[in-house]
Amino acid sequence: MARALLLSLLVRQHLALKEKFRARYPHCWLVWEAGVWNVPESSEQNHSATRLPTDELHDCLPAGDAMCFELVPGTRRDVLSLGRSSHNVLVINDATVSREQLLLRHLPEGGWQVEALPQGAAALLSGKRLRPGLPTPLEPGMQLQLGDVRLTFHDADGFHSRMSHTAALVLAHQRRNEKAPG
């Protein structure tokens, strides 16, 4: 399984590490945007009734948190499988995602491409349906839609820009809370 980290944790690391953050995380990322990925604490555990994690994570961004998957190529990791099943490298535990949904392939010249699998449900890339067996290059900022799940692809520079912007928002939010009369 690939390394998956919460955006809120990465923002804290960005604030603490400053310029060393870029050296620590030099790869592309796939970000599972805030949405219906937090399972409720009820005994029912019905994934169709999931909700945003805003109540439990007071110090995160107001819209909730995001899960970030680091896309690290390697000799055995040039193809990353993505789906709901636990045998995938990138596990998206959401009932609207197929067990085996996509393949992400690292290109020899750098960059990544995505390929829908024939047994997977429909997948959209920036609003256009991916055809099974037809690899498509990923460009920074492109969004994959898999059922209710929205994933954003970032190259290293784009991810670091997002971290800088998000860190600035967190700092501004902290400053406002410090100034507010208590």
Q: What digits encode the pLDDT tens for the residues 96-131?
A: 999 999 999 999 888 999 999 999 899 999 999 999
Whole-number pLDDT of residue 182: 58
Indicate whether 2 belongs to any domain.
no
Indicate whether 1 belongs to any domain.
no
User: Higher confidence at residue 74 or residue 14?
Assistant: 14
CATH number of the domain to which 52 belongs:
2.60.200.20
Indicate whether 139 belongs to any domain.
yes
Whole-number pLDDT of residue 45: 39
Could you give the 3-state DSSP secondary structure of residue 128? strand
d(CA 111, CA 131): 20
Tell me which residue range forms the domain holding 73: 8-179
Longest dimension (CA), the chain: 59
Could you give the 3-state DSSP secondary structure of residue 77? coil
Which candidate, 82, 72, 162, places its Cα nearest to that of 130? 82
| 133 conformational bin, left if phi > 0, alpha if psi -120 to 50, beta if neither | left
What average pLDDT does this structure show over 147-174?
Answer: 91
Question: What predicted TM-score, i.e. pTM, was given to this entire model?
Answer: 0.80
Whole-number pLDDT of residue 74: 76
Domain count, the chain: 1
Which candidate, 4, 71, 11, places its Cα nearest to that of 32? 4
Indicate whether 3 belongs to any domain.
no
